[in-house]
Amino acid sequence: MTQAPHHATPHTDDAHHTVVGIVTAAGAGTRLGYSMPKALVPLDPENPDTALVVEAVRRMLGVEGMAELVVTAPQEHRALCATLLARCFPDHGERITVVTGGATRQASVACGVEALAARSARSDTAKPVIVLVHDAARVLAPTAMMQRLVDTVAAGHDAVIPVLPVADSIVRVGAARGTENYPVDGAVDRRDLRIVQTPQAFPFPVLAQAHAAFHHEGRTEITAFTDDASLVAAHGHNVLAVIGDHHAAKVTTPADLVLARLTYQQETHP
């Protein structure tokens, strides 16, 4: 994600910044075989308080300096999500807000940015603000990885993302509409390819300005950016990649959920 050179926004050290977070929790659970949003699916099938969004929020609250979190949820499940989080985090009620998301991931993050900006306008803090943008579907992303991202932004970078090397061979295929068979155009060199994860970290003004600049693109799945680093890069900022974590894998299919549940069980009952 290289763009025209852009000077990084200067930041101070860890003791002099505030951290805020956005967690998108609007994905459907249909591919998991659930009628509820994916974020409300529990890691422990017997305990609804282990919903993906709950565990993702729990790990984000562990980041040093985390002042507040905004969770974006579907309108029809917003109240349920808010009730669940209030029950699971009774001591953090003032720090967690649930808002209605948008039609696309980009639009949902924009809703989170707007909510944080509104809260910030009522705050008297003068500290620089760093924002983590996360997906509840990457429920097991470790707090330690999140902390590394925040610390790297604090060191003077405008966008920091976690990535992993591509392990599989990659090929480019030609168009083959109406069939599951594709002609192979050639192999792709995977040495410079990386899998992008979340959360991603930014100075809050950088993220807010990028979302404002590309507001119209976020309205449809065809034009929307699929992650915030791409959006920020398109706005002229450099993006720095750091090593991610295999635990930050995305829960999309039933097999992903089985693996996430096994990992969670191992973490909670070693």
Dump pLDDT digits (tens) for 35-66.
888 999 999 999 999 999 999 999 999 999 99
CATH topology of domain 14-268: Spore Coat Polysaccharide Biosynthesis Protein SpsA; Chain A (3.90.550)
Q: Is the pTM of this model over 0.85?
A: yes
Over residues 198-211, the pLDDT tens digits come to: 999 999 999 999 99
Q: What pLDDT was estimated at residue 124?
A: 56
For residues 23 and 115, give the distance between their C-alpha atoms in angstroms, rounded to a whole number: 12
Return phi, psi of residue 162, to 5°: -90, 135
For residues 108 and 130, give the distance between their C-alpha atoms in angstroms, rounded to a whole number: 18
Look at 210 and 182; give whichever has higher pLDDT: 210
Q: What pLDDT was estimated at residue 67?
A: 94
Residue 13 has pLDDT above 50, yes or no: no
Q: What pLDDT was estimated at residue 205?
A: 96
Look at 119 and 148; give whichever has higher pLDDT: 148
Q: Which residues contact 213 (CB under 8 A, 6 or more apart)?
A: 235
Q: What pLDDT was estimated at residue 207?
A: 98
Residue 166 has pLDDT above 80, yes or no: yes
Look at 12 and 194; give whichever has higher pLDDT: 194
Q: What pLDDT was estimated at residue 14?
A: 45
Q: What pLDDT was estimated at residue 122?
A: 62
Residue 141 has pLDDT above 90, yes or no: yes
The structural domains of the chain, with segments of one domain joined by +, span 14-268
Residues of the chain with pLDDT > 70, as a percent, come to 90
Mean pLDDT of the chain, nearest integer: 90
How many CA atoms are closer than 13 Å to the CA of 178, on its beta-carbon side? 0
User: What's the CA dihedral at 196, 146, 33, 266 to 10 degrees?
Assistant: 120
User: What's the CA dihedral at 176, 164, 224, 58 to 10 degrees?
Assistant: 130
Residue 6 has pLDDT above 50, yes or no: no
Query: Tokens 């480019």 appear where?
Result: 172
For residues 169 and 17, give the distance between their C-alpha atoms in angstroms, rounded to a whole number: 42
For residues 235 and 4, give the distance between their C-alpha atoms in angstroms, rounded to a whole number: 10
Per the CB < 8 A criterion, the answer to whether 52 and 43 are in contact is yes
Q: Which tokens hold the place of 138? A: 């990457």
Where does the pLDDT of residue 2 fall: very low under 50, low under 70, confident under 90, or very high at 90 and above? very low
For residues 110 and 95, give the distance between their C-alpha atoms in angstroms, rounded to a whole number: 19
Per the CB < 8 A criterion, the answer to whether 11 and 17 are in contact is yes
For residues 99 and 58, give the distance between their C-alpha atoms in angstroms, rounded to a whole number: 18
Q: What pLDDT was estimated at residue 87?
A: 96
Return phi, psi of residue 251, to 5°: -90, 110
Where would I find the beta strands (DSSP E) of 74-193?
Answer: 96-100, 129-135, 160-165, 170-173, 184-188
Per the CB < 8 A criterion, the answer to whether 22 and 72 are in contact is yes
